[in-house]
Amino acid sequence: MRKVNRNLTKRELEVLRLCKEGKTNIQIADTLSISTHTVKAHISSILDKLDVSCRLLAVTVAIERGIL
């Protein structure tokens, strides 16, 4: 994995924190009052910015980098 220095937005951090709690896309959408489509877009952006392939790795990398 290469280190990527693109900052996550405030909303992406909120989504990532909820992923860390094990929430589903539907639960995240309900919590943040957004659509599941928007949740998927945020997760896609998070994965891209952290250069990982799944939510679990995104949470792990974010913890390792002190983002979460």
Q: How many CA atoms lie within 13 A of 50 on its CB side?
A: 28
Share of the chain above pLDDT 90, in %: 87
Q: Which residues contact 4 (CB under 8 A, 6 or more apart)?
A: 49, 50, 51
Q: Which residue has the higher pLDDT, 68 or 15?
A: 15
d(CA 36, CA 3): 28
Domain parsing of the chain, residue ranges? 10-64
Topology (CATH level 3) of domain 10-64: Arc Repressor Mutant, subunit A (1.10.10)
- pLDDT band of residue 1 (cuts 50, 70, 90) is very low
More confident residue, 61 or 1: 61
Q: What percent of the chain has pLDDT over 70?
A: 91
Can you tell me the mean pLDDT for 36-41? 98
**Which pLDDT does position 17 carry in this prediction?**
97
Question: From CA 11, how far away is CA 24, in angstroms rounded?
Answer: 16
